[in-house]
Structure 1
Amino acid sequence: MPAMMRLLRSRPNIFSLASRVNRPLSNQPSQIVHVHRVNIRRKWFKPTNFIVAGCIYYMCFQIYTSSLASTISRRLEDDQTLLTEEEGEEDEGAEEEFDPFFIPLPFTTRLVPSPPYKYTDPEWQAFIKVNQDREKVRSIQSSLADLVRKTTAANSMLVQKCGSDMKVAHYWLDLQYPTRPPPTFVRRGIQIGADGIYITEEAVDTTVAMQVQRALWPDTLAVSLWRFSGELLKQNALNFASLFGYKSDKSANSDSSFQQALERLKKSTEEPDSKTPKSLSSSNTKSPHSSSTNPTSPIQKRSPGATPDPRPSEASSGSGVVPIIPDAEPEKPRGAKDMLGIRTTQEHTSGPLNTLKQTFAQTWRPIRGLPPRGAIYVTGLVEIITPRALITVDVTSWWDPKTEKLDLKTTNFRLRVLRMKTQRPEG
């Protein structure tokens, strides 16, 4: 019955629908659109995800243990059964002799003074033996004096000034026995051993510790850079003050020397012009067929700063004299240093850079290191005679009783006095 009633219901009019669609917007009621921002969050906790992930991890673990771990364990068990009791004991001993692994900590290196020598120490007994043997003492002194002579003869500047025939004239060398060994360097670190992990200190090589210390604290380079920056700042301040008319004595002397150089250059350029023939240097000669009263000649004297005109002269066609036009050099292409300003920067910083090099050469000292344990300190003066001069050298060195040789790493020579046998006035 309801289905029959729906069939008997009147159908909507097509024209009325069209009129509703084509109705003007002005007649429609206005509506306010409200925008709401919504954050959609996914539910992070889902029991099903945890259950599925747990099942997957458990299956992977079972596959790993059944395939790889079980195979390795069975292989190790088979190898263990093949070992004899003696081999097993050797392996246990090797495990006990495991070398510890040391990891140093940065900025923990420090200098530790050594305890003084005792009468029973072998180093002190060696000092007693050397002191009682006078021949040994003289041989140590003579060997050091001969080393000074060889080092002086190898210096080219001294050989050029004093002569190559050098001999040891006198030497005053003393042997001093230190009361304690030289200090040592230690650093703190983490040590991993068979019995555990703990923090301890370990001795460091003296040369390595000094090199690291110089790399971390470059005092020589810092002093040189300080002098360089101060000299450059002073130069820039003088250049800025010169813009306002202030000139120091140094700048005035440099300007006067520059003016003198310019005058010498002008004189050298004027000398070739005075040696030219008179027929070419006369400026008032006139052509016999010329009716012009202009006294100028097509041959003109070029000033040093004038640029030659490459165009041909019109007067040369009418007169029989050909003008002399000097060859004009083409402009050279600018290099990369000129375009980037590198050459200008080099000229500007040449003075401060020389100061930096001079300061670095004066303050730089090579790393000498510390003497070996039980070494004897030898110090004094050695006088060397040459045909033209007397050279006095201040020397310090260490003699090792174990090797019975001088330690060249700690040997230091310094020129004390250089006296020429014949002196001439410098004026």
Structure 2
Amino acid sequence: MFRAAPKFRSLARPSTLYRPLTTTAHLRRLVQPNESVKSHTVRFLPPPLFTPLRIATFFLYTSCLVGYVWYFFPELEIEIQEEGEEGEIQISDSEFAAEDSLFIPLTWAKKLPRSFYKGSDPEWQEFVKVSKDKARHKKIQSELVKIVYDTAQKHPAFVKQLGRDTKVGQCWLDIIFPDGPPQEYARAGIEVGSDYIAYALQRIDAQQQHRILRTLWPTAAANGLYNSTKVLLGFQYHRLKQLLGWEVDSTPGSQDAKYQQLLQLLQAQQAQQAEQAKTQTGAGTPEADKTQSSASSLLPWAAKVPQPPSSIEMPIAQHIFHATLAQGKMPKKMEPPRGSFVVQGLIQLKGSRSILTLDVQAFYDPKASHFLVVNATPRTIKQRKQSPKGGN
């Protein structure tokens, strides 16, 4: 009544239709029994280098290249330029693009060979005239002092530092004539004129090269962001140490002491500004209240939103960011433009609070009789009344 269950066959059954022959089995079929096997040594030779196909391909590609150069470059002039005294290649002015043409730069700018003024140059002749005119020396120096004094009178930081009744103290100014024009750069590109297109060079000055590099690599902005973020994190770490009750280094000159001093100074300034704002505005005018009520009636969604409290550390971080950004805007070493000379030295300003000594550097154009650039940096600040920082 019961049948035995059928046996399952293996699914992975080896196929008998094709079995690869091994090398030994293949030799057994070729060699008859009782027959000796003979072995032969075979050496494969590499194909020859110059085959007919390779020679035909070479001549075909060479003829195509020669035909392309002959058709598109019918006249190719090669000019060997003479080297200068120091082995530098002299570039003629005809290779540079015209100023009124459109120029598309294709390469990075490179330094041009440094040039110097000659005795026959008009710039050097003008320098000789100025050097012999002592009265003009005093006039140029007096004009620079007046520019610095007027600028300091209008600058809020200088007014706050010096106080009232600011006067000019002692001055030490020198006139320095440069040996040559500033360093120039050149970049290659395509010049598009009114009736031609050519491959030419464009001459750029050092300031333009500095602006290009500053735009492509904004290191000043990155440094300013890093310094301001570092200060903000330092303030937060100082507050965290105070909240957790950790030991704070209060020795003068330490990092914690500097942060604590800055926080106290900013809190005092903010309290003073808040008191001045209250005295100026008062408790509020009825006109302002009326305007505010009318605006709320017209705009029901214009609800009063509480403003977040102003952070004390943000003004310091913003000041550090702007100061670092301003330092990166100017090149490290500025050179006077072509035909101008340097007027530099120290100018002292005396106020009711302090005496400020400025390090001044300016570029003066003798032909136009005016200053092109004036830079003034505080060198020393001497307070009229100095109180001890350690206390009485």
TM-score, with length taken from structure 2: 0.49
Structure with more of its chain in helix, by fraction: 1
Structure with bigger gyration radius: 1
State the TM-score, normalizing by the size of structure 1: 0.46
